[in-house]
């Protein structure tokens, strides 16, 4: 029996997640820097996290039997000349290397300008991307899934254990671009929600919508299977959410105490110098 799936299936699934995730980002987590409420912090893993994880896991599993059909559908002449394909061209740059430039730029601007929240936003977004990409790299190497363009989208089950290390043709699962885009989206959404809770309704759809566009573009460019991008979105989302939650729940952690206490100050001779306040043992 053939299963028919419209070209927008994956986009719709990720868009649905993009709509739901901002609401999940509103889980109340007290900023531990406010010592008055530190003892009332929410647990690190919540029921909402579990439901979100189950949703992503189910989505990934559901895509496996559809990978072949979706890949073939998106490579037809009609889809290759469609609106979504045109929009996908070059959108990956937003995720990589864009996430590093944007995060790094915000961090530097915050340090120079003395804007603590901007520096937090830039650093935690970048930190989330680093961690998410690290996990993705290990999975890519271990799973060794063949990219769809090698088989013209006909062999989603071609998996060669550990072949992904050092061989980009076997690094399909999960999608690194999707991981990066969703890690940045989750970190930014959760960070800004702490400043202004109502911003979630605006920032969330914008950030997750952009991440969804990046994920779908990888399908149109025949670099990933549908299940690859769903798993990438899951890893990125959880990493972004938890990096921000951990950082604010543990303001004394060594990385933040070093990175976020670095500032550009006058050197006394008319110039500037970088000053790092190292934490005392």
- What CA–CA distance (Å, rounded) separates 192 from 198? 9
Q: Whose CA is closest to 208, among 187, 235, 192, 239?
A: 187
Sequence-distant (6+) residues with CB within 8 A of 265 are 272, 273, 275
Q: Tokens for 203?
A: 């920032």
**Distances 70 to 7, 79, 176, 221 between C-alpha atoms, Å:** 7, 11, 19, 13
pLDDT at 93: 78
pLDDT band of residue 30 (cuts 50, 70, 90) is very low
DSSP label of 168: G
Residue 26: band (very low, low, confident or very high) from pLDDT cuts 50, 70, 90: very low
pLDDT per residue as tens digits for the range 259-276: 665 555 455 555 544 444
Tens of pLDDT, residue by residue over 103-145, are 999 999 998 888 989 999 999 999 999 999 999 999 999 999 9
Average pLDDT over residues 156-180: 95
CA gap 279, 93 in Å, rounded: 36
Third-level CATH fold of 9-27+41-249: Vanadium-containing Chloroperoxidase; domain 1 (1.20.144)
263 strand-pairing partners:
275
pLDDT for res 269? 58
Stretch 90-111: mean pLDDT: 85
- Range in 15-29, 57-71, 192-206 the model is least confident about: 15-29
With b meaning 16 or more CB within 10 Å and e meaning fewer, what string describes 58-69? ebbeebeebbbb
pLDDT at 32: 40
- Contact between 253 and 244 under an 8 Å Cβ cutoff? The reply is no
Output the pLDDT for position 88: 65
Sign of the alpha-carbon dihedral angle for 135, 138, 140, 142? negative
What is the reported pLDDT for 144? Answer: 97
Check: CB of residue 121 under 8 Å from CB of residue 110. Answer: yes
How confident is residue 97, by pLDDT bands cut at 50, 70 and 90?
Answer: confident
Contact of 99 with 207, CB cutoff 8 Å: no
Average pLDDT of the chain is 80
pLDDT category at 16 given cuts 50, 70, 90 is low
Token code pair at residue 227 = 């299940």
- Sign of torsion over alpha carbons 81, 82, 83, 88: negative
Q: Say if residues 133 and 176 touch (Cβ distance below 8 Å).
A: yes
> What token pair was written down for 52?
């979100």
pLDDT digits 0-9 by tens, 138-167: 999 999 999 999 998 889 999 999 999 999
3 state SS of 115: coil
| Distance in angstroms (rounded) separating the CA atoms of residues 16 and 29 | 24
Residue 31 has pLDDT above 50, yes or no: no
148 phi and psi angles, rounded to 5 deg: -65, -30
Confidence of residue 34 (pLDDT cuts 50, 70, 90): very low
Residue 215 pLDDT grade (very low, low, confident, very high; cuts 50, 70, 90): very high
Please report the pLDDT score of residue 149 as a whole number.
Answer: 92
């Amino acid at each position: 029996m053939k299963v028919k799936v419209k070209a927008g299936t994956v986009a719709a699934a990720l868009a649905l997640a993009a709509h739901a995730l901002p609401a999940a980002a509103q889980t109340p987590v007290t900023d531990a820097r406010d010592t008055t409420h530190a003892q009332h912090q929410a647990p690190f893993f919540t029921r909402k996290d579990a439901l979100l994880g189950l949703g992503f896991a189910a989505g990934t599993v559901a895509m496996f039997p559809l990978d072949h059909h979706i890949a073939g559908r998106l490579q037809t002449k009609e889809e290759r000349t469609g609106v979504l394909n045109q929009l996908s061209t070059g959108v990956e740059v937003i995720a990589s290397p864009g996430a590093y430039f944007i995060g790094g730029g915000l961090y530097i601007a915050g340090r120079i300008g003395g804007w603590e929240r901007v520096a937090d936003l830039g650093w935690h977004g970048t930190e989330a991307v680093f961690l998410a990409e690290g996990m993705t790299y290990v999975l890519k190497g271990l799973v060794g899934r063949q990219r769809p363009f090698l088989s013209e989208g006909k062999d989603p089950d071609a998996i060669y254990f550990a072949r992904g290390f050092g061989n980009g043709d076997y690094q399909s699962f999960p999608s690194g671009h999707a991981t990066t885009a969703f890690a940045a989206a989750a970190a930014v959404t959760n960070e800004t929600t702490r400043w202004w809770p109502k911003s979630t309704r605006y920032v969330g759809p914008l950030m997750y919508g952009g991440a969804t566009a990046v994920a779908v573009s990888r399908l149109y460019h025949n670099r990933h299977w549908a299940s690859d991008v769903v798993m990438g979105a899951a890893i990125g989302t959880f990493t972004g959410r938890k990096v921000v939650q951990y950082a604010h729940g543990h303001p004394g952690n060594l990385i933040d105490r070093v990175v976020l206490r670095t500032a550009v100050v006058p050197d006394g001779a008319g110039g500037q110098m970088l000053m790092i306040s190292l934490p005392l043992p």
